Amino acid sequence: MSKGLFITFEGGEGCGKSTQVKRLKAELESRGIEVLLTREPGGTILSEEIRRLIKDQEEDAPCDRAELLLFLAARAQLVRNVIRPALAAGKYVISDRFSDSTIAYQGYGRGLSLDFISAANDFACEDLKPDITFLLDVDPEVARARMRSRESATHTAADRIEKAGEEFHARLREGFRALAAADRERIVTIDANGSPDEVWNLISNILRKVIR
């Protein structure tokens, strides 16, 4: 039985999740809360290997179905070996992406069956659901500008999924919005077009109502 709190962050590329996730961790720790920060795909040795395959394998790039199954395998390992034990120990777990990303990217983005993905997500997570999800919603032009500046600051190129094209990214944004509309209890949509401080203020206002 879970005693901790499970918080996830979702959104398209360049939405600024990673910055906010670190800020939330620091804020919770300053209140004496034990926090486990993880990311998806990733967070275990196996799941980080899968992350590398999914993001960078260009020569034999995973087909859409293989890509879906790889994300699910990474998730099953992370939930079983990391997230559930941490929650059971009373920790707050923050995950940079979780199962909503699969519905948005592989369902709405790649066009794979939403019903199948939903059932497969439940199987992979053993029915674990986040207690609260922050969906960082950002206009496509703002997202593109952020990605360009990140690429030049870190001297890295866009990965296979980041390069998937404007229509793909528009579809997955619609997917995230549809998910949020269908579950307003759990998913809080945050306008992420502002500066990191502005976005953090929106998140911390919500947090006050959630933290026990």
Please report, as ranges, the residues that interact with ligand TMP according to CB under 6 A.
Answer: 13, 39-41, 71, 96-97, 101-102, 105-106, 161-162
If the CB atoms of residues 34 and 163 are measured against ligand TMP, the closer one turns out to be 163
Least gap, CB of 32 to ligand TMP (angstroms): 28
Least gap, CB of 53 to ligand TMP (angstroms): 11
If the CB atoms of residues 105 and 134 are measured against ligand TMP, the closer one turns out to be 105
- Give 119: exposed, middle or buried? Use CB within 10 Å, 0-12, 13-18, 19+: exposed
Q: b vs e for 28-62, b when ≥16 Cβ sit within 10 Å of the residue's Cβ?
A: beeeebebbbbbbbbbbebbeebbebbeeeeeeeb
CA separation for the pair 45, 183 (Å, rounded): 32
Least gap, CB of 50 to ligand TMP (angstroms): 10
Q: State the DSSP code for 61.
A: P
If the CB atoms of residues 84 and 100 are measured against ligand TMP, the closer one turns out to be 100
In angstroms, what CA-CA distances link 9 with 37, 64, 112? Answer: 11, 23, 22
Residue nearest to ligand TMP (CB): 105
Least gap, CB of 209 to ligand TMP (angstroms): 27
If the CB atoms of residues 34 and 151 are measured against ligand TMP, the closer one turns out to be 151
